[in-house]
């Protein structure tokens, strides 16, 4: 796919052409002349146009405010200074109450399989049909300036700009949720965010109030298994799945509805971090995920996801041991296969982070004729919340006019006015019905029962709509069967990660009764897991919590494990190569050629970046050793002469480079000269510690068999 051009300033600013100034080239402050600036006579018109204020007046000086004398006070009449500071003072808008930190990108969605038999949505009528998309990935708990790699759920929100209006699939990277009913959401979020009195911890669930909520809400136990698993620390945003979470409905042209669950499967494969690595990345590069996504797209390695659907009907749903309207339950892929219907490719970075990524407003209510909601009580609450929150975040009911939110198909109705109205509707027809057309005037748009959105007519088979009840359906009370399903579907290593994450998080809980309550619930998920966690906390196992419904054993599902789906590929993976003075350039070139030939990329690391003498010339590094720890790479290699290696072996950064790569179970390729550092770093030979020549054969995979040697897991 060819790289689409970035939009030019003129395109992105069609109405108001505030073009960026040409820096300060051509401007200077003349000493000894009272400080006034002037344009350098030789400069002529700046390349990117003249600097103006917001009303189009050209500025002569952008360096000095207007003062009463060179050393006097500023003057109120300085409209240039006042406008600039006024605008700056109001540059921030409220951050999202959840999902505040996010990264966005543009792309395209292409239908790979038409499904007119399932939905009348225009988008899915024809194979090959495309539409533009905008995606925003996010963490949930942390503020906008928090780090990218905490243990947290990731938001996976996609806006499809279709011919029939926008469709927003506002999902997560985990297919279930903590709670079943929207009325619990404010409590959940209050408990996980920084504690109300002390304002910490930021972007972390490892604290009293969150685990207090969990212990008291057993419905969260399935999601807790996912959140404590490696799913909650993805290696990159490119290597995680996405899920619509709720059961939605597809409606065909005849009005027949079927239930559907949406899935996004990454073409890059699934990969996660190791917890120690996530913590270190948070310090070394807080923007790790944002940078990775940006760089992948800039380099033309466009990340892609396949959109899959699991479709089933009411009758099938009624026979399951769980309720498909319960967002704490998933539908195993082994029971209902995921059918791929399209592919999304992200191929353009945003031009402006605020205008696009910050101002994008996703609304689960944005559906198309042919895609509808279910009665999932969590989804129903979301249908109110997202429209509502935009008013407080973006300050106006006209947020749909912001370019990133506006549909790319025409939209017209009788809604008028409001703060920041930028459209200029003409004529008198701002009400409906009207008969102004009979007098030859424009009478505006009308509703169309044939092509317009009509809500699916739920037959309410398993529901009596005449009763008003504050209750939950019967099967919602099974809190543990699917938590156990998830745990039992993991590899031994993944199970150890879950147990260790629970020990880590609960060790940060200071109130003992909260730890005990969580342990008592874990016994319903898996007795051995509960014992391992209790042992890791040096606590006795408390009595098992009574379960509201008996736990049913479900058949383990390989689709729930990351490691069982691991793929050996260099595509989109980065290898760090350490070199130093005297290194053999030819050996580095060979490694580079092989890695790039296999689809990967190379990042050269050296003690100095400016260019150092190597055998065969001078070589510049991409990054300096201290600022390029091995956590940044999927695998490492090294080309070092014994003398240079001996020197590096005395430096903490070099030893740590290999120690971390080893501890994070990565492939370490090396030349014989490096051995002195490997010995110091405690790196022992295994399947993943190989000569440089074997790097391509072994691949940038994780060697989890090594893990028990490098850390004590619960
Ligand atoms: Fe959200 N959620 N949510 N959520 N959510 C928001 O909307 C809310 C839920 C999700 O990148 C807010 O525009 C309620 C589930 C994503 O801009 C807010 C409930 C899922 C994003 C809101 C939920 C999500 C949000 C904050 C329980 C996965 C980021 C800013 C009923 C299916 C979208 C905003 C972006 C954002 C409310 C539960 C996903 C406050 C009330 C379940 C990916 O409206």
Measured distance CA(53)–CA(159) in Å, rounded: 34
Q: What is the CB-side half-sphere exposure of residue 631 using CA atoms within 13 A?
A: 25
Query: ipTM score here?
Result: 0.98
Instruction: Quick: pLDDT tens for 399-442.
Output: 999 999 999 999 999 999 999 999 999 999 999 999 999 999 99
Closest CA to 292 of 345, 339, 349, 253: 349
For residue 448, the SS3 value is coil
711 C-beta neighbours (distance < 10 Å), count: 14
Nearest 5°: CA angle at 525, between 524 and 531?
85
Selecting among 106, 166, 172, 222, the annotated active-site residue is: 172
Segment 55-114, tens digit of pLDDT: 999 999 999 999 999 999 999 999 999 999 999 999 999 999 999 999 999 999 999 999
10 Å CB burial of residue 10 (0-12, 13-18, 19+) is exposed
Question: 110: part of which helix (H) or strand (E)?
Answer: strand 102-111
617-642 pLDDT, tens digit each: 999 999 999 999 999 999 999 999 99
Q: Where are the alpha helices (DSSP H) in 217-331?
A: 221-227, 275-284, 288-298, 314-318
pLDDT reported for residue 43: 57
Ligand 1 nearest-atom number relative to CA 172: 28
Nearest to 310 by CA among 275, 334, 329, 284: 334
CB 552 within 8 A of CB 478: yes
Residue 285 has pLDDT above 50, yes or no: yes
| pLDDT digit string, tens, across residues 344-358 | 999 999 999 999 999
Which residue out of 382, 390, 391 has the highest number of ligand 1 atoms within 8 Å of its CB and is therefore the one to mutate? 382
Instruction: Check if the beta carbon of residue 141 is closer than 8 Å to that of residue 367.
Output: no
Confidence at residue 37, expressed as pLDDT on a 0 to 100 scale: 40
Give me the percent of the chain exceeding a pLDDT of 70.
94
pLDDT value for 462 = 75
Looking up tokens 């109001």, which residue turns up? Answer: 90
Question: CA-to-CA distance for 146 and 102, rounded, in angstroms?
Answer: 10
* Minimal-distance CA residue to ligand 1 atom 44: 386
Residue 648 has pLDDT above 70, yes or no: yes
How many A from CA of 134 to the centre of ligand 1? 16
Q: Is-above-0.90 flag for pTM?
A: yes
Residues 656 and 629: beta-carbon distance below 8 Å: yes
Strands 304-312 and 339-349: antiparallel
Which residues line ligand 1 at a C-beta cut-off of 6 Å?
A: 96-99, 102, 136, 138, 155, 157, 170-172, 177, 182, 185, 245, 327, 360-362, 378, 381-382, 385-386, 389
Q: Taking Cα atoms as reference points, which of 658, 654, 657, 667 lies closest to residue 704?
A: 667
Closest atom of ligand 1 relative to the 388 alpha carbon: 44
Domain spans, the chain: 1-21+45-60+78-91, 102-194+234-401, 573-710
CATH of domain 102-194+234-401: 2.40.180.10
- Residue 6: band (very low, low, confident or very high) from pLDDT cuts 50, 70, 90: low
Per the CB < 8 A criterion, the answer to whether 533 and 522 are in contact is yes
Confidence band for 459, pLDDT divided at 50, 70 and 90: low
In our burial notation (b when 16+ CB lie closer than 10 A, e otherwise), range 584-600 reads beebbeebbebbeebeb
All residues at 6 or more sequence positions from 660 whose CB lies less than 8 Å from its CB, including other chains: 276, 277, 280, 629, 630, 631
Which tens digits make up the pLDDT trace of 236-266? 999 999 999 999 999 999 999 999 999 999 9
Average pLDDT, the chain: 93
pLDDT in tens, 673-691: 999 999 999 999 999 999 9
Query: Virtual CA dihedral for 594, 596, 599, 603, nearest 10 degrees?
Result: 120
Q: What 3-state DSSP class applies to 201?
A: coil
- Whole-angstrom Cα distance, residue 510 to residue 537? 12
Whether 484 contacts 526, CB under 8 Å: yes
Instruction: Say which CATH architecture domain 573-710 belongs to.
Output: 3-Layer(aba) Sandwich (3.40)
Nearest CA to ligand 1 atom 19: 382
Beta bridge partners of 305: 266, 344
CA 358-360-364 angle, 5° bins? 135
Q: Can you give the pLDDT at residue 465?
A: 78
Give, as one character, the DSSP assignment of residue 682: T
DSSP annotation of 421: -
Task: Give the integer Cα–Cα distance in Å for 451 and 445.
Answer: 14
Catalytic, 99? Answer yes
Name the pLDDT band for 461 (thresholds 50, 70, 90). low
């Amino acid at each position: 796919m060819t790289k689409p051009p970035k939009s030019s300033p003129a395109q992105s600013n069609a109405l108001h052409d505030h073009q960026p100034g040409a820096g300060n080239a051509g401007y200077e402050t003349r000493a000894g002349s009272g400080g006034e600036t002037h344009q350098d006579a030789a400069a002529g018109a700046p390349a990117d146009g003249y600097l103006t204020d917001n009303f189009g007046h050209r500025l002569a000086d952008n360096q000095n405010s207007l003062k009463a004398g060179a050393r006097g006070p500023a003057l109120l009449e300085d409209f240039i200074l006042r406008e600039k500071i006024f605008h700056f003072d109001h540059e921030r808008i409220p951050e999202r109450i959840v999902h505040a930190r996010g990264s966005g990108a543009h792309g395209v969605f292409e239908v790979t399989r038409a499904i007119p038999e399932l939905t009348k949505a225009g988008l899915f009528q024809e194979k090959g049909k495309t539409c533009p998309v905008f995606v925003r990935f996010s963490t949930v708990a942390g503020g906008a300036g928090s780090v990218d790699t905490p243990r947290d759920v990731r938001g996976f929100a996609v806006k499809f700009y279709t011919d029939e209006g926008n469709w927003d699939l506002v999902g997560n990277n985990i297919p279930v949720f903590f709670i079943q009913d929207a009325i619990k959401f404010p409590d959940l979020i209050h408990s996980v965010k920084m504690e109300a009195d002390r304002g910490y911890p930021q972007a972390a669930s490892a604290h009293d109030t969150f685990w207090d909520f969990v212990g008291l809400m057993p419905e969260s136990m399935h999601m807790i298994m996912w959140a404590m698993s490696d799913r909650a620390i993805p290696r990159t945003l490119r290597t995680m799945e996405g899920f619509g979470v709720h059961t939605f409905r597809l409606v065909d042209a005849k009005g027949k509805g079927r239930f559907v669950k949406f899935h996004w499967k990454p073409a890059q494969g699934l990969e996660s971090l190791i917890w120690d690595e996530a913590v270190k990345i948070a310090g070394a590069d807080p923007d790790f995920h944002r940078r990775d996504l940006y760089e992948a797209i800039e380099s033309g390695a466009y990340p892609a996801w396949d959109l899959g659907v699991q479709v089933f009907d009411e009758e099938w749903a009624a026979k399951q041991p769980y309720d498909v309207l319960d967002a704490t339950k998933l539908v195993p892929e082994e029971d209902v296969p995921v059918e791929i219907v399209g592919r999304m490719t992200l191929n353009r970075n945003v031009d402006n982070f605020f205008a696009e990524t910050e101002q994008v407003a996703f609304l689960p209510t944005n559906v198309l004729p042919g895609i509808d909601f279910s009665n999932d009580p969590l989804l129903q609450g979301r249908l109110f919340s997202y429209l509502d929150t935009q008013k407080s975040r973006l300050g106006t009911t006209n947020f749909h006019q912001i370019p990133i939110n506006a549909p790319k198909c025409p939209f017209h109705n009788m809604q008028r006015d409001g703060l920041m109205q930028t459209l200029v509707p003409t004529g008198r027809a701002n009400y409906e019905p009207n008969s102004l057309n009979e007098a030859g005037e424009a009478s505006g748009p009308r509703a169309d029962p044939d092509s317009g959105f009509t809500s699916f007519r739920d037959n309410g088979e398993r529901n009596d709509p005449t009763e008003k009840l504050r209750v939950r359906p019967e099967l919602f009370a099974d809190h543990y069967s699917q938590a156990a399903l998830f745990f039992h579907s993991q590899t031994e290593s993944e199970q150890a990660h879950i147990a260790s994450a629970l020990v880590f998080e609960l060790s940060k809980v200071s109130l003992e009764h909260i730890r005990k309550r969580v342990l008592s619930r874990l016994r319903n998920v898996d007795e051995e897991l509960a014992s391992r966690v209790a042992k890791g906390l040096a606590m006795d196992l408390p009595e098992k919590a009574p379960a509201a419904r008996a736990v049913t054993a479900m058949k383990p599902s390989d689709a729930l494990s990351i490691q069982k789906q691991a793929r050996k590929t260099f595509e989109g993976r980065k290898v760090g190569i350490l070199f130093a003075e005297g290194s053999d350039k030819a050996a580095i070139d060979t490694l580079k050629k092989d890695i790039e030939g296999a689809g990967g990329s190379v990042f050269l690391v050296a003690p100095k970046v400016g260019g150092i003498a190597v055998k065969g010339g001078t070589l510049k590094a991409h990054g300096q050793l201290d600022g390029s720890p091995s956590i940044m790479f999927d695998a490492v290699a090294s080309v070092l002469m014994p003398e240079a290696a001996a020197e590096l072996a005395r430096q903490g950064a070099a030893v740590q480079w290999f120690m971390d790569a080893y501890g994070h179970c990565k492939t370490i390729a090396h030349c014989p000269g490096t051995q002195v550092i490997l010995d110091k770093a405690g790196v022992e030979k295994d399947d993943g510690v190989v000569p440089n020549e074997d790097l391509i054969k072994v691949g940038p995979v994780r060697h989890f068999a090594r893990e028990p040697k490098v850390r004590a897991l619960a």
